[in-house]
Structure formats: structure tokens, C-alpha cells
Amino acid sequence: MDMLPTAGTLAYAMQITRLNDTLFSQRPFPSLGEEEFLAAPPAVAQDSPSGREIGIRYPMAHEYSRRSPAKRCPIERSDSSSQEFWEKLCSACQTDEPLARAEGSLRIVVLTARSWMGEASAAKRLLEEFGRRGHECCICREDTKQMLKQINPSFVLCLCPYFAPPEGVPSALMLAQPHKSSRVCTPEKILRYRNILYCMPDIAELQQSAAKKGKSLLGMQFFPSVGKTSFDASPKRHLFYGGVCHDSRRGQRYGQLYRLLDETDYFDVYGSGVWKSRTPKSYRGFVAWDGGALLNTIRSAGVSLVLHGDNHLAGGTTTSRFFEAAAASNVIISDKHPFIIKHFGDSVLYVDQEATPEEMFRQIDDHMKWIRTNPEKAIELARESHRIFVENFSLENEVGRLEDFIRDRMVEGVNSA
């Protein structure tokens, strides 16, 4: 939205966000398909201080919306955030004064771009876990000095390299993919930060580049995972695929693979409407990537197909779809990603991503035949990958380490290299 002067901006954002909470209970998004959502009129607040109608956000799914970003609130609360914190923030933003913060407490702001779908989902999960741990937290989708000044965070976690490190506040940038594979996440933008959370095996090359510039770069390996779940031993009969087709490997090279899978009776594809033409028999619609609805959908299938893009394979970073599949107690069929082979070993069924699409299909189809004819063994396979996930890569484990990392950075001070 066009930012209003000083305190009025955040005050109105909070007013809109309160109205959001009421609207969510009246209009749950998961019942809408993607096209229905995009066609539906936005809920509006009629009393905008600027005299304009302001569209109200929908839970997480607004990351996919083609509506103007200028019509959405820049603040999102965590469902598990303290109501007391929210009320204090509502009161404080009536003035230009920063919101007071208890010494040593954590108040975390997550900065993320509206159109980065994976990062938006990760932001929501991070906020929920920080809230469960008793910390004050919110998501900001606008990078404004005035807004951060009023919220007065103890730490800012940036999930998008568009944003520069905030002045006077310790911060970190999360790298979900190798910088060499991204035109957006360039070394120049990364090295503005001193603290990096990275999903790749290491950041030695970036640290060397920083050293040449007379800077130091501190890092912690971090996986934007999902929360712990109980194992579900329900039948494993259908193959879930969270359709992604924006890169050359998954969008073009695997085209014939998708067509062959579409002829089976077990393939279930979820994602944007582009899959209607690619897999007309198997396309099941659009599912909100908000954690709950997504995990329930994956769990109901029983088996997950996880395919990585070239950037993931080259950089050693894994997609969150893998952790979601493990959390949903699924048998996992994956390409031969180094991270998965190293940490999950024989608990996963593999396909050779360098094979022809026809051979990849044969391998997947053979795995599905084995799963269906050996249900008990398939459940034990899923149980093992679920165990490894819970013990080593759950969101609770990751955020616990992140909390220690944040407190260490707070002791050191701000972002000077």
C-alpha cells in the first residue's frame, strides 16, 4: 500500500490485520480452487484513512494472487503470538514511539517478499514456532524504516535478498538456494549481510569473497522444515506431487514423464492451473501451502514424489517438499539428491534423474507396484524416514538452534562486518 505518514501507517495495518482474523473464520481459503480464488472479490475495509478501499489478505494463499500488492496489508501476525504483544503493538503505533521491549527478550520480524511462495510458507511456519516458544513475532512484507522503528525488533530475519540489512538491528539472511543459480540472490546482495542461514552444504566460497572485501561472514546451516508429527500408518496407495514447473528440468525435460504418469490410476497432482493441460486426468486442484491443509492432502495420498530442479541438485539444497512428505508419514520416491542419500539412505526409494523420462517413469511405476503389493514393508519404510525427520530435521529442532544463533548475534551487536 502507499505508506501513510509515521504512526498512521502501522496503526492502520494493525486495524486491517485485526479485521483479517475475523474474516478468516468466515471464509476459509482451502475450500477454494485457484481460479475461484483469483476470481473472487476481495474482502474490503471501507474506512481506509486514505479514502481508498483496501483489500484484506487471505491466509498464505495471497502469495499466489495476481491482485495488486498495493491492496494488501504489510503486517501479518503469528497465530500463536501473544495477544498481549499484539495489543501493545496496536497501542504503541498510535504514536511515533517505538514499542518497549523487555531486556533480553526476543521480538522477531520476518521480512519476506509477497511473490516468493516457498519463503512465504517458511515465514508462516517460523512465526508459529517462535510464537509457541513465547517470543513476540510478526511478518512484514514491506521494508520501511518507520515500520521497523515502531515494532522495535530485537532481530530481523530476512527471507528475501531484495531487502538490505536494517540499520541498528541484528539481522540474518536466509539462503534457500545456491547464489550461483539465482539472478536475484547475487553475491553483492548477500554480502550486505554479516549473518547467513544457508541450506547448502557450506558457504566457504561466499566467506572467501567476503574476506577479500575485508568483511567477515558468519553462517549456520538451517533447513526451513515443518513441525513434528505423529506417525500415521494409513495405507499408501496414491502418489502426491506438488507440481512445480518453472525451471527447465521440472518444467520441460520432465514433460514426457508427467504425461506417462497421467495415464496411471495413482498420480495426484496439486498446484497452479497450468497442470490442467499437462496432467488433465491427474490434476486435483490448488491446495493452500499453509502447512495444515497441505500436510493433510499429502498424508491422504500416502506416497510422495519429490523432484528437484537443477539449482537444488547442483547446490546440494533440498526442497521443503521432502520434509513435508516425511512429516506426512509418506513413502518417499525421490531423485538421487546428495542430501537425501546422505541423511535418509535406504528409507527412501530413488529414481535416476539423469535417465530418460521413459526410464524414470518405469522406475517410479515399479516403486508404486512394490508399495501396493507390500503394504506392511512400505509402512515400515515410511516409518523410518519419518523417524529420521523427527529426530534430526523437524522445525522444532531447527528453530531451537536458530534461537541460540540469534541470541549470540544479539550479544555481538548489529550487522557490522
3-state secondary structure of 278: helix
Q: Where are the beta strands (DSSP E) in 33-135?
A: 44-45, 54-55, 75-77, 107-111
For each successive 10 residues of the chain (417 residues), what is the average pLDDT?
40 43 34 36 31 29 35 57 69 71 83 76 89 88 74 91 87 80 74 93 91 93 95 96 70 87 97 88 84 88 93 85 96 97 98 96 98 98 98 97 93 62
CA angle 7, 11, 13 (to 5 degrees): 120
Alpha-carbon distances, residue 70 vs 39, 74, 417 (angstroms) = 18, 9, 35
pLDDT of residue 68: 40
Closest CA to 332 of 256, 236, 235: 236
3-state secondary structure of 79: coil
pLDDT of residue 312: 82
Beta bridge partners of 139: 76, 110
Burial (Cβ within 10 Å: 0-12, 13-18, ≥19) of residue 3? middle
Residues with Cβ within 8 Å of residue 21, at least 6 apart in sequence: 77
Domains of the chain, start order: 6-221 (3.40.50), 238-393 (3.40.50.2000)
Q: Which uninterrupted H or E stretch holds 253?
A: none
**CA–CA separation, 402 vs 283, rounded Å?**
37
pLDDT of residue 149: 82
pLDDT of residue 19: 37
Residues with Cβ within 8 Å of residue 280, at least 6 apart in sequence: 262
List phi, psi (to 5°) of 401.
Answer: -70, -40
pLDDT of residue 232: 97
Q: What pTM does this model have? A: 0.80
